[in-house]
Amino acid sequence: MGITLEEYNRLIKSIAENKLYKIDNVNFKLTSDSNGYYIEFIGTYDVLGKILINKDYNIISSVYGEYIKDGNINNKDAKSLIGVWTGYSWLCNTIDDVKNPKGIYSKIMLGRLKEYNKRIIRIDTKCFIPGNEHKYDFIIFL
């Protein structure tokens, strides 16, 4: 890899000792009706708009489009960024050309942490639309 053994060992140690730090508050409102559950972002993250999770959990809708359920999460690695957790993920991808991206790549994950028995929402959104570019990747602990 072009690094010394000492640099390699430091890299491995730093990966094993990853920690999460609170860097911001995400203001949102949770509501529900006969269609499903809504997450509405307020303030800094209002660009994410209102997210609808339908009652069957198979489709999520947002200002970016529809997210289709794309998998189950069963992370058993306690040393990963958020530890052991299970859940589901949905993907919205409107990008055809990764070398010249113009569109949205967004993933929403809902799950439960094993260690604390807390629910989490992880949103990873990258908007590559010219004039509206932005990236958000955050985890909300409920």
In terms of pTM, does the model score above 0.85?
Answer: no
- Mean pLDDT confidence for 20-40: 83
State pLDDT tens for residues 55-95.
887 889 988 889 989 889 999 988 887 889 999 999 999 99
Determine contact, residues 72/105, Cβ cutoff 8 Å. no
pLDDT for the residue 72:
93
CB-based burial label for 103 (10 Å; 0-12, 13-18, 19+): middle
**Of 31, 50, 52, nearest to 40 (Cα)?**
50
Cβ contacts of 88 within 8 Å, gap of 6 or more = 57, 69, 71, 72, 73, 109, 110, 111
Q: Is the pLDDT of residue 1 over 60?
A: no
User: How many C-alpha atoms does 108 have within 13 Å on its Cβ side?
Assistant: 20
